[in-house]
Amino acid sequence: MKDYSESDKKIILKDYRGLLRASKKFRTTPEDTAYIRKAFNYAAEAHMTMRRKSGEPYITHPIAVARICTEEIGLGATSIACALLHDTVEDTDVTLEDIELIFGRREKRIIDGLTKISGAFDLSTSDQAENFRKMILTLPDDVRVIFIKLADRLHNMRTLGSMRPDKQRKIASETLFLYAPLAHRLGLNAVKTELEDLSLKYTEPEAYNEIAIKLRKSQEIRARFISQFISPLKKELDKTGLKYSIKGRPKSIYSIYNKIKKKKVTFEEIYDLFAVRIILDSKQENEKTDAWRVYSVVTDFYRPNPDRLRDWITNPRSNGYESLHTTVMSPTGKWVEIQIRSERMDEIAEKGMAAHWKYKDSKKKIESKFDNWINKIRDLVENKETDTLDFIDDFKLNLYAEEMYIFTPKGELRTLPKNATALDFAFDIHGDIGKKCIGAKVNHKLVPLNHILSSGDQVEIITSNKQKPKEAWLDFVVTSKARSNVKQSLKEEVKQVAEQGKESLKRKLKSLKVDYNDKNISELLKLYDFKNPLDLNFQIANGKIDLSKIKSIVVKGGILKYEKESVLTSLFRRKQKEAKKLDQGEIISSFGGKSSEAIILGDDSLKQVDYKIAKCCSPIPGDNVFGFLTINEGIKIHRTNCPNAVQLMSHYAYRVLKAKWKSQTLKEFSVGVEFTGIDGMGILNSLTNLVTGSLNINIKSLNIGSEAGFFNGNLNALVHDTKHLDDLMKEMKKIEGIKTVERVY
C-alpha cells in the first residue's frame, strides 16, 4: 500500500474495512483475519499500477467481489481470499505456481478455474463460451469457483455504466444468456434477479426505464393495497401464537418485462406485480406443520386458485428452494401470490447452495439433490468430444426449466424438467438404458419414446439390445443428459463411416502422388468448403464428394494449393487474427480500420460492404442495430433487441460489427404490426382509411380474424423509419375497438 497515492489509500482502506465488517461472522479465528489480510496485501501490490475504466484503483474491484461473496452469498474465508486474488493471474505477472507457493493448492485450483482461457479460438465458437466451459469444468471439484465468478459478474454489471455502449450490450447479453440462469440454478435468487434487471437495463434501456418509472409511480398504491390485504391475516395469525413477519415484494423489472412480451399485455394489465411473503420463526422440525397452519389461515380469508398450489417444502426444487406457494383472490378482484416459508428457507431462497451448510439437519437432503445435479454436469464434462457451443447449449438447457417429479416402478422419486419425455427419463436412469430404449409404460400403459410425462407419473422403461440412438430423437428430448448422449452416439457412428472415407481419400492422394498431411488436408477443406476433416471424410464415404477435383490443385512435390479465397473468408480470417490481440469490445468496433467506424446503412454511396437486412427482426432506420458476419450469407443487419441478439452476442461476439443508419426517408421498409381488440362494425374500414388515406402508407398485407367478440389482426406495411412506424401505431390505437398495437418484426 505504501506506493499508492494518499487519495487512493483512503478509497482502498475504506472498501477493505467494509469487507472486514461484512465478513465478521465468517472470521471465526484471528488466523482467518490474517489470511484475508495476506490475500488483500498480495492483490493490492499485484494490481498497484492498474485502474478501472471508471478511474478507481483496480483493487477496489476484487474487494467488491469479495464483499459480495461474503455479504450476499454467504461464503467464508477461503472464498474471500480467492475473490481478492481472482484477477491476479489473468491481469498481472503473478502465476498459478506463485499462488500455490504463497497460499496453497486449494487456492491455486480455485484461481485456475477463475482465470480466463487464452490463445486462438475456432471460428465456430467465441472466447466467452470457452471461458464459461472452463469455469463449468471446475464445478464438480469446487463449486466456490462458480460462486466467485457470479460475484465478479454481478459487480461488473453494477459498474457497467463506465463502458462503451457496444461493450455494455455484449456483456449484458452474455449475462442474460448464461450467468443469470446459472445463478438461478444454484438458488441465488437475489443475484439472479439483479443480473436480469441490470442486463435488461443495457439491452432494452427504453423498456427498462418505462417499467421502472411505472413501478415508482405505483409504489404508494401497491403499499396501500398490501396493507389492506394483510390486515385481517395479521389479526388471525396473532391468535395462533406463531412468530412471523409479513412483507410485500414487487416483481422484478425483468419478470414484468417478460410477462408484457409473452402475454402481450400492458403494464397496467399485469395482475401479479408483487407477492406477499409470510416468513415464520419456526424450529426446523416444526417448519412444515407451521407453514400449513398459515396456509389454512390465508385460505379461510381468501379463495385460493387450486391450480396454483406449489408445495416445495415436501419436495424441494433441485437447487434447494423450499417454500409453500398459493395464489388467492383479493377482495378487489386481483390475484395475489402468497409465499409461506421459514427464516431458514428464506435465507436459502436468497443465497442458495451456500446457505445450506449452516443448517446441518437439512444438509443431507439438500446435498443429495445437489450431488445429483453435479453428477449430471460430470456426465457432460466427461464427454471430451462435445463441441464447445454444444456443451454450453446442453448445460444451459435445463437451468431455467420448471421441475416435475417422476416415480420409478419401485417408487424411487426422480426430478425432471417440465415437458421431459419417456426417453429423457430413460437417460436419467442411465445412459446405456436410454440408448437401448424402445418404449415405456407410464402408469402401466404402453407409450412411445416421445410421450411427454406429467408430474406424479410412474414410468417403466422397455429396452432392446438391437436399439441404437437416432438423429430424430434430438427433436423431442429436452434434458442435457439425453441430448449429449444422443449427440455423442451419433458422432461415434459418423466417425466409423468417416474412417471409410478417409481410406478412400488416402488412396486417391496416393494415386496423385500427394502426401497425406495436415497442410494438404487444410487445402482440401478450403477446396470443398468444409470446417473439419471429419465432415469431409463422412461425405466422401457417402459418395457426395467428387475427388477428381483434387487434381486441379496439385502442385509440385506432392503439395496441394487452393488459391481462390472469397472476400468473406478473408474477412473471417482477419477477425480471427484480431481475436488473438484485441479484447472483444475492440473487435466489435474494429471493422473498417478505426474503432469509431461502422457499417453505414441506408445510403448506397457510403456502403463499404454488401449487407442484408435480417428477416428475423426486419430493422428499419431509427432502430439500434449491429452487423453480424455469417458463414454463407455475408453480413446480416439485426436490431439490438432482435430475439436472436443475445445468443449471437454471447456465442459469436467476435463476429459482431458496429452499424448505424444514415438519416434518410427516401426508402420504404417492410414491418409487421399485430393488433387486438373488441370486435365491432367498421374496424377494417377505419383501419384501411387511416393507413392508406390519412397516413399515406402502403399496405402489403392485412389479416383480421375474430372469435367470441374479440379480434386479432396482422398488418404488414411499408414505412420509412421508426418515427414513421411510431406515428402509425399511435394512430391505430386511437381507432375505437383497438386495444393493443405491437410491432412484431
Active site members: 90-91
Helix (H, G, I), strand (E, B) or coil at 204: coil
Chain centroid to CA 124: 19
Nearest C-alpha neighbor of 358 from the set 18, 110, 71, 26: 26
Instruction: Measure Cα distances from 507 to 14, 17, 75, 137, 523 in Å.
Output: 72, 72, 61, 41, 17
Backbone phi and psi for residue 36, each to the nearest 5 degrees, phi listed first: -65, -40
* C-alpha closest to that of 478 among 420, 405, 394: 420
Q: Where are the alpha helices (DSSP H) in 382-455?
A: 388-397, 422-429, 431-435
DSSP state letters, 37-105: HHHHHHHHHHTTT-B-TTSSBTTHHHHHHHHIIIIII---HHHHHHHHHTTHHHHSS--HHHHHHHT-H
DSSP one-letter code for 529: T
Instruction: Give the span between the Cα atoms of 603 and 583, in whole angstroms.
Output: 30
Q: Maximum CA pair distance of the chain? A: 97
Burial class (CB in 10 A: 0-12, 13-18, 19+), 458: middle
Nearest residue to 348 (alpha-carbon basis) of 326, 368, 363: 363
The grid cell for 618 is 426486419
Residue owning grid cell 487445402: 523
Amino acid in position 625:
V
| 626 DSSP assignment | E
- Count of Cβ atoms closer than 10 Å to residue 329 Cβ: 13
**Pick from 281, 312, 494: nearest CA to 387:** 494
Bridge partners, residue 719, by sequence: 669
The CA-CA-CA angle for residues 678, 681, 684, to 5°, reads 85
CB 652 within 8 A of CB 126: yes
Q: Which DSSP helix (H) or strand (E) runs through 311?
A: strand 310-311
In Å, how far are 40, 47, 51, 648 from 91, measured between CA atoms? Answer: 16, 8, 12, 27
Phi and psi at 249, nearest 5°, equal: -120, 130
Q: Do the beta carbons of residue 643 and residue 118 sit within 8 Å? A: no
431: phi then psi, degrees, rounded to nearest 5: -55, -40
The Cα–Cα gap between 583 and 588 comes to 9
What is the strand order of the sheet 445-447 is part of? 445-447, 437-442, 459-463
C-alpha distances out from residue 668 to 57, 624, 699, 730, Å = 51, 17, 11, 19
Among 383, 360, 455, 391, which residue's Cα sits nearest to residue 417?
A: 455
